[in-house]
Structure 1
């Protein structure tokens, strides 16, 4: 367990964004309360208001706003996953750095896989991520361009969340550029130092930028073994759009998206990887990939120390739940004290 000065870190700092909105929300609520008080004062004196509405309390209204403010602030702090204290654990790593890349182009919405190709793609890649415990893993999303959604990390949960967040709008530039995906993987590998580099790329293979040779060259220059998973059928399927219609070509005909497995085979064979076809269900198709990943461990297995920080979110979540329960109980008690139709409770 770590000693010395207590240093606080946050596992999910993005959760702090809602705190930026809280001051404005509190100010708005206080202004509304002040306006309500001013409006009531125009029609009756304080003594008359107290007689007509004995259960109305301006003070309780302010307390209620303050309690809700503190509750939300504590909940946000809990969501940010505060951590202090740590434990150093010795773990055995196979020394393989793994990037999974998923195609997010519109063709991945084709429904020859249920509910669509993209959903099935994420399911398969999630299984690969969780089978890579002890490895560094990262996530790339690509279409006409590519982005690193999660840099290489040993935090499988973080990489899994990044993968799950991917949707057809993640990459705004449409198309399918396998070269862009490989280049993004190269950038991710270069920032993480040395290690055996493996990339699992899942797409329907319709490489629209025509730069497969450039993708091969880039992968080989960076010593990346590319394993490809082809998703789709040779017969093809139309691509559904959000308005219920189907994507059309320049001549007005319906676009039929087909699996181009030859492209994926060339990429895998040219980089020392393996190409497989996705099945509609199960995980049998990824087993050859997992087997080859496991076979690499003999020469690259290393032992390393991993620092695991202690989660403290419960210290903030517990009080937040308690304050919320207090507010609900007090509000209920105030309402039960009503003794007539003319009495109002804030």
Structure 2
């Protein structure tokens, strides 16, 4: 629980507390005026006469009523400090990150080395890919699937830091196999329009041909080039530097021309890994690249969770102590002012709010009932969309103004 986010959903209800204090004070004065002792005794003598159990009981009742007023006000104000899952729509596109794990990625021309910078960039892309199905492929002499397409970003983020040049058992630099594996991953997920982001420091003609074939199948290939024109030696894990057959130290320099050609043939864009972060923003909006493809999603996003109902539990217990004729009239009047709309009585209303009933119906795939019960426009729109009522779903989202609402 993060209490740094504590706030009230309906803070104007806090104004009811001072108003309730005024009404409670007036009610107490009225009760005193109705006492038979006030009719037969002088007021200056009542302080000596009204003592003992009756006066103590009266103070206890008013103490309970004051506490009940406070609890009722807090419940109506809607305290909250955490969020809950929220129904959204997302694009039917998916994307696969293809990460180079060849030995040349150990080169130190980009501090601390090329591979570390490539991992950092991949992590940034995954974090920013909210609502996008993402997968991860690595390659060196051959390619391997690390994660299939998923909307669980945490899984990919947990695996990325552990990837190293020793992860792939076959050494080499076969970017073409990485691209082919990414295309296979998109086909398995039945993604007809997908995005492939190749993060590497080298490429050849085979990789260019692979990108060309992927574009024909409806997939877009973007390239992030890793490395500098000067290059740098490749330190080995044990000691020394990578050398060729003649004993010369290898200084790998990226083939930027080939990498640009891959992006051009793949219908995507070329990026330098040292470019400003704002340059990569377009990579996180595949919906803009493929606007016509949309599909229904599971619950993503969030909204603030109302904790107000929990204050009703001690309120009910206190009401049992104060259950005397006339004493609860004020509290009942305040509770009747709750902003919830009137509805026919239902047995489930005793245990769940309408939005909770809507979630239950949504999970049971009873979308008609979910749309009927949902008070939240996004839940209602999601239920109508699942039911096939697309126009009504769009109408339900119109009053909302957040960026994700315009996206939906």
User: Could you say which TM-score interval applies, normalised by the shorter chain?
Assistant: 0.5 to 0.7
Distance in structure 1 (CA, Å) of the matches to 2:121 and 2:162: 15
Structure 1 residue 126 corresponds to structure 2 residue 131: no
Q: 1:90–1:303: 8 Å Cα contact kept in structure 2? A: no
1:288-339 per-residue CA deviation (whole Å, 9 max, x = no partner) reads 4336x3523632243333499xxxxxxxxxxxxxxxxxxxxxxxxxxxxxxx
What is the CA distance between 1:270 and its match in structure 2?
Answer: 0.7
| d(CA) in 2 for partners of 1:136, 1:298 | 16
Q: Which residue of 2 aligns with 1:303?
A: 296
1:290 matches 2:284: yes
Distance in 2 separating the partners of 1:298 and 1:179: 28
Maintained 8 Å contact 1:185/1:199: yes
Q: 2:135 aligns with which of 112, 115, 138?
A: 138
**Partner SS, residue 229 of structure 1:** strand
Q: Deviations over 1:12-40 (max 9, x none)?
A: xxxxxxxxxxxxxxxxxxxxxxxxxxxxx
Give CA deviations for 1:211-265 in whole Å, capped at 9, x if unaligned.
Answer: 1343134323432101000010111111111232111111111111112111111
- How far apart, CA to CA, are the structure 2 residues paired with 1:215 and 1:143? 16
Structure number with the bigger relative contact order (C-alpha 8 A, sep ≥ 6) is 1
Q: Which residue of structure 2 lines up, in the alignment, with residue 319 of structure 1? A: none
Q: Considering only CA atoms, is the larger Rg found in Structure 1 or Structure 2?
A: 2
Contact 2:109 2:232 in 1 (8 A): yes
Determine whether 1:250 maps to 2:245: yes
- Structure 1 residues 236 and 206: alpha-carbon distance in aligned structure 2, compared to 1, 3 A threshold: farther
Per-residue deviation, 1:167? 0.9
How far off is 1:88 after superposition? 8.3
Query: Contact 2:231–2:253 (CA<8 Å) still a contact in 1?
Result: yes
- 2-side partners of 1:235 and 1:149: how far apart? 32
Unaligned stretches of 5+ residues in structure 1: 1-86, 309-346
* In structure 2, C-alpha distance between the alignment counterparts of 1:212 and 1:206, rounded to whole Å: 6
After superposition, what is the alpha-carbon deviation per residue over 1:59-108, rounded to whole angstroms, capped at 9, x for unaligned? xxxxxxxxxxxxxxxxxxxxxxxxxxxx9852220222010011000100
Runs of 4 or more above 4 Å deviation: none
Matched, 1:233 2:245: no
1:201 pairs with 198, 201, 210, which one? 198
Q: Quick check: 1:138–1:150 contact (8 Å CA) kept in 2?
A: yes
1:138-170, Cα deviation, whole Å (9 max, x unpaired): 000111101010000011111222323211111
**Structure 2 residues not aligned, in runs of 5+:** 1-83, 302-408
Q: How many residues align?
A: 218
2-structure distance, mates of 1:163, 1:172:
17
Q: So what's the TM-score if we normalise by structure 1?
A: 0.58
Looking at structure 2, the residues matched to 133 and 183 of structure 1 have their Cα atoms a distance apart, in angstroms, of 25
Distance 1:172 1:134, change over 3 A: same
Is residue 263 of structure 2 the alignment partner of residue 268 of structure 1? yes
